């Protein structure tokens, strides 16, 4: 399924060297790439960096794209790989942020705290679980599309979603599922 319309003409122009055509592809798909990357990253700024890296990679590797009508899926697969490459740095950064947060006074009952709890809970998931949840639950992609983007078997994507939901439930609601 092609999301975001037919990109074939823009891709052909971009392959011929048109910066303008690639700029239009960026405009068309930037929000999807940023949203996915932000869900995978420890914080939104890192997600924006991942998305930017993915677009740079896509520009240099546009000739590798076999199915122009699937540009968005191809791009999100690049975002996924870029996020996985930064996994160790993300883990180190997360440990530093947790240490800092533990030194801060607690302010219970605020919306900010709930958002921070959700971010910490997502960070506690494996990157595969975050990726599957970000695509399917937050992004509206089908399990099959997520499997293609993440380069995982369909059953693995379904397992990552189920385990991720259960872990989020444990962390956020204190429930075992």
DSSP state of 86: T
Query: Residue 143 has what pLDDT?
Result: 94
The torsion angles phi and psi of 18, rounded to 5 degrees, stand at -80, 110
pLDDT tens-digit readout, 154-165: 999 999 999 999
Most confident of the ranges 54-68, 113-127, 129-143, 163-177: 54-68
Q: How many residues does the chain have?
A: 177
How many CB atoms are located within 10 Å of the residue 33 CB?
24
The pLDDT, as a whole number, for residue 139 is 86
Check residue 11 and give its pLDDT: 95
Buried b (16+ CB within 10 A) or exposed e, 74-106: bbbbbbbbbbbebeeebeebbeebeeeeeeeee
Kindly state the average pLDDT of the residues 42-54: 90
Q: Which stretch of 68-77, 85-94, 155-164 has the lowest confidence by average pLDDT?
A: 85-94
pLDDT band at 113 (very low <50, low <70, confident <90, very high): confident
Find the range with the poorest average confidence among 9-18, 55-64, 136-145: 136-145
Query: How far is 69 from 12, CA to CA, in rounded Å?
Result: 11
Of the pLDDT bands very low, low, confident and very high (cuts 50, 70, 90), residue 98 is: confident
Q: What is the pLDDT of residue 1?
A: 40
Does 175 score more than 60 pLDDT?
Answer: no
Whether pTM exceeds 0.75: no
130 contacts 47 by C-beta, under 8 angstroms: no
pLDDT confidence of 2, banded at 50, 70, 90?
very low
């Amino acid at each position: 399924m092609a999301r975001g319309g037919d990109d074939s003409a823009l891709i052909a122009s971009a392959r011929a060297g048109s910066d303008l055509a690639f700029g239009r592809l960026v405009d068309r798909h930037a929000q999807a790439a940023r949203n996915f990357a932000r869900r995978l990253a420890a914080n939104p700024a890192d997600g924006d960096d991942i998305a930017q890296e993915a677009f740079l990679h896509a520009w240099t590797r546009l000739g590798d794209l076999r199915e122009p009508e699937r540009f968005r899926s191809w791009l999100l697969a690049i975002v996924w790989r870029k996020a996985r490459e930064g996994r160790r740095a993300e883990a180190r950064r997360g440990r530093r942020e947790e240490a800092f947060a533990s030194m801060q006074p607690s302010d219970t009952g605020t919306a900010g705290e709930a958002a921070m709890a959700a971010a910490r809970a997502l960070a506690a998931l494996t990157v595969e679980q975050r990726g599957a949840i970000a695509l399917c639950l937050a992004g509206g992609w089908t399990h099959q599309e997520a499997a293609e983007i993440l380069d995982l078997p369909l059953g693995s994507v379904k397992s990552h979603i189920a385990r991720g939901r259960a872990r989020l439930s444990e962390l956020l609601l204190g429930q075992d599922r």
